[in-house]
Amino acid sequence: MHVMLLSCCVLVLLMPGPCFTAPTFMPEEESTPSPEPQVDLKLATDYLQQYYNLQKDPLGRIKRSGPSFTSKVKDMQIFFGLNATGVLDSDTLEVMRNPRCGVPDVEEYSDIQGTRWNKNVITYSIGRYTRDLPRSTVDSLIESAFSVWARASGLTFVSSHTRSADIMVEFVTHEHGDLYPFDGPRGTLAHAFGPGLGVGGDTHFDDDERWTAGETGFNLFVVAAHEFGHALGLKHSRNPGSLMYPTYTSLHPANLLSREDVANINALYSPVRGHPNYALRGSQMNPWVSGSLFPRRLQDKCAPDMTFDAVSTLGDATFFFKDRYLWIKHNAQYGIKEGPISNFMPKIETSIDAAFWVPRRSTAYLIHESMFWTVKGSLVKGKPRALSHFGFPAWVQDVDAAVHVPKTGRTFFFMHDIYWSYNENRKVMDFGYPKYISERFPGVNATINAAIHKEGFIYFFLGPQVYKYDYTQKHVVGVETANSWLGC
């Protein structure tokens, strides 16, 4: 059987100040002195090598300049929403010192993306317990951490007392048999393996740490819930409101999961069913909301809460995508064709997350997660290509919406609360992106599900509403319902 494992996740606390010793490597000589203390440079180098795939210098030198180091600093700054200067400023170093999970933030997931358990009933067993808490408390906290994911998905977790359980939970120290040794107090906190046979799903906690059920020490419930997300196949989120955000904090809301977390777990497993009382944190706390979590009968196009995943012109028609369903409204006709996407485009058997039309090429681009199809006329051309073709950084694995503005020759890609501008003439991403959506599109203050350009305006689909946006005057000039676009 083919075994697929996600990268091991390790929570690391990078300690500043006197806990750090001077670097043993000799810094590379430069024409100008380094403005950063060598201790900060060593911290940043180690951080970027572990989390952003900065290649080690074969001679063991530490370099603060050069395109590779600067670009990795920018990648890290973009991931955490900092000013992408490439400079090790105080804000950047502060984030680097935060306690965090050790799975890389920027990584090519092509070989492991979508890894999941091929079942919805998952067993777990606690092998060795911590000395810090009574066994009954540990049992309760671990069960509660699994329940966080159970309430948000179709998964069921069953406690077992055998060594053959799917997820083995262990409190261990130093070398413990998996090539990822712990390092004593206030260093590595925990790590987890992605779904699979053998060590797949296993989650280990460093018993040299102080595990608690409160705000002091390290909260076992919170760390366990994060690690179990990795054990189920989830990767890190850029959303500070997400449980899967890389850094640890002692402040936690009553409901750990954001809407993004719920959407992501349901993208891997069965949708939420039979949990009507599950409370999601509101959009005010978590602005990065990713779509509908509770599918309904798609053919009910006139439902008042109707939303679309993508909307795009394609020739003389407008295409409306929802899950794996499609409505086609021809501009010169009153009727609407509808049915599974594969009925109209046999090569496409997935949902479409974003779509846009470039009229001068008479070409549409349909995006699903990290891949896109090129469509000319009514034909899908060739095989899907990687989203990175447009020049996105490696951590971008999907977008929420896209729209092309012919007058400017730019295509805008929207993701959470940021967007990119792509120059279709030069076929490169414009410099200085991503930027915040609120800066360029004031009034558009929620996740954009879909977007389309028509008659000099951009229409943003935000849930069941559509904002008519004048991009020359930079303001919303009208609001209508999404289902009205289908004649409702």
Q: What is the CATH number of the domain that holds 29?
A: 1.10.101.10
Q: How confident is the model at residue 63 (pLDDT cuts 50, 70, 90)?
A: low
CA distance 456 to 433: 24
Residue 303 included in any domain: no
Average pLDDT over residues 174-184: 80
Above pLDDT 70, what percent of the chain?
80
Q: In the prediction, which pLDDT does 331 show?
A: 72
Bridge partners of residue 450, in order along the sequence = 461
Q: In the prediction, which pLDDT does 182 show?
A: 80
| Domain identity same for 422 and 286 | no
227 assigned to active site: yes
Q: In the prediction, which pLDDT does 108 show?
A: 40
Q: In the prediction, which pLDDT does 64 show?
A: 52
Q: In the prediction, which pLDDT does 345 show?
A: 85
Residues 186 and 15 sit within 8 Å (Cβ to Cβ): yes
Q: In the prediction, which pLDDT does 347 show?
A: 85
Cβ-count burial 41-57 (b if 16+ within 10 Å, e if not): bbbbbbbbebbbbbeeb
Residue 187 included in any domain: yes
Q: In the prediction, which pLDDT does 165 show?
A: 92
Closest Cα partner for 287 from 253, 258, 252? 258
pLDDT digits (tens, 9 = 90+) for 14-23: 333 333 333 3
pLDDT digits (tens, 9 = 90+) for 288-343: 222 232 233 334 678 888 899 999 988 888 999 998 888 988 876 566 888 888 88
Residue 369 included in any domain: yes
Catalytic residue among 170, 227, 338, 424: 227
Q: In the prediction, which pLDDT does 101 show?
A: 73
| Domain identity same for 130 and 244 | yes
The secondary element (H helix, E strand) that includes residue 468 is strand 465-470
Cβ-count burial 293-319 (b if 16+ within 10 Å, e if not): beeeebeebeeeebbbbbbbbbbebbb
| Domain identity same for 179 and 44 | no
Average pLDDT over residues 446-473: 91
Please state the residue numbers annotated as binding site. 101, 132, 166, 176, 178, 183-184, 191, 200, 202, 204, 206-207, 209, 226, 230, 236, 244, 309, 353, 355, 402
Q: What is the CATH number of the domain that holds 178?
A: 3.40.390.10
Residue 304 included in any domain: no
Residue 298 included in any domain: no
| Domain identity same for 239 and 250 | yes
Q: In the prediction, which pLDDT does 443 show?
A: 87
How many other β-carbons are positioned within 10 Å of the β-carbon of residue 170?
Answer: 18
pLDDT digits (tens, 9 = 90+) for 195-230: 988 888 999 998 998 999 888 888 899 999 999 998
| Domain identity same for 326 and 373 | yes
CA distance 422 to 231: 36
Residues 201 and 194 sit within 8 Å (Cβ to Cβ): yes
pLDDT at 274 over 50: no
Above pLDDT 90, what percent of the chain?
31
Residues 322 and 336 sit within 8 Å (Cβ to Cβ): no
Please state the residue numbers annotated as binding site for Ca(2+). 132, 166, 183-184, 200, 202, 206-207, 209, 309, 353, 355, 402
pLDDT at 67 over 80: no
Q: How confident is the model at residue 6 (pLDDT cuts 50, 70, 90)?
A: very low
pLDDT at 419 over 60: yes
| Domain identity same for 106 and 237 | yes
Average pLDDT over residues 125-133: 94
Residue 121 included in any domain: yes
The secondary element (H helix, E strand) that includes residue 415 is strand 410-415
* CA dist list (Å): 413 to 150, 309, 372, 387: 33, 14, 13, 11
Top-confidence residue, 113 or 250: 250
Q: In the prediction, which pLDDT does 320 show?
A: 94
Residue 28 buriedness (CB in 10 A; 0-12 / 13-18 / 19+): middle
Mean pLDDT in the chain? Answer: 79
Top-confidence residue, 376 or 284: 376
Q: In the prediction, which pLDDT does 330 show?
A: 81
| Three-state DSSP class for residue 316 | coil
Q: In the prediction, which pLDDT does 228 show?
A: 95
Question: Using alpha carbons only, what angle is made at residue 178 by residues 172 and 183, rounded to the nearest 5 degrees?
Answer: 50
Residue 124 included in any domain: yes
CA distance 15 to 96: 9
pLDDT at 168 over 60: yes
* Strands in 262-398 per DSSP E: 310-314, 317-322, 325-330, 336-340, 354-358, 363-368, 371-376, 379-386
Query: What secondary structure letter does DSSP report for 417?
Result: T
pLDDT at 69 over 80: yes
User: Model-level pTM?
Assistant: 0.50
**Sign of the C-alpha dihedral computed for residues 211, 213, 215 and 216 taken in this order:** negative
Last residue of a domain, one of 49, 74, 96: 96
Last residue of a domain, one of 263, 292, 321: 292
Q: In the prediction, which pLDDT does 452 show?
A: 94
Q: What is the CATH number of the domain that holds 370?
A: 2.110.10.10
Average pLDDT over residues 396-423: 92
Q: In the prediction, which pLDDT does 272 show?
A: 41
pLDDT digits (tens, 9 = 90+) for 26-47: 334 333 444 446 788 888 888 8
The secondary element (H helix, E strand) that includes residue 211 is strand 211-212
Residue 180 buriedness (CB in 10 A; 0-12 / 13-18 / 19+): middle
| Domain identity same for 113 and 231 | yes
| Domain identity same for 375 and 423 | yes
pLDDT digits (tens, 9 = 90+) for 350-386: 899 999 999 988 899 999 988 999 998 768 888 899 9
- Structurally, how many domains does the chain consist of? 3
Residues 435 and 403 sit within 8 Å (Cβ to Cβ): no
Full domain range(s) for residue 271:
1-16+97-292
Residue 301 included in any domain: no
Please state the residue numbers annotated as binding site for Zn(2+). 101, 176, 178, 191, 204, 226, 230, 236, 244
Helical residues (DSSP H) of 310-430, grouped into ranges = 341-344
* CA dist list (Å): 357 to 394, 402, 486: 24, 9, 19
Top-confidence residue, 245 or 39: 245
| Domain identity same for 102 and 222 | yes
Last residue of a domain, one of 35, 64, 96: 96
Please provide the distance, in angstroms rounded to a whole number, between the alpha carbons at the two ends of the chain. 51
Q: In the prediction, which pLDDT does 449 show?
A: 93
At a CB cut-off of 8 Å and minimum separation 6, what does 10 contact? 101, 102, 103, 180, 188, 189, 190, 191
- The DSSP string of 102-144 is -S-SS---TTTTT---SSSEEEEEE-S--SSS-HHHHHHHHHH
| Domain identity same for 346 and 434 | yes
Q: In the prediction, which pLDDT does 66 show?
A: 54
| Domain identity same for 473 and 412 | yes
**Sign of the C-alpha dihedral computed for residues 233, 236, 241 and 246 taken in this order:** positive
pLDDT at 12 over 70: no
| Domain identity same for 147 and 244 | yes
Top-confidence residue, 282 or 120: 120
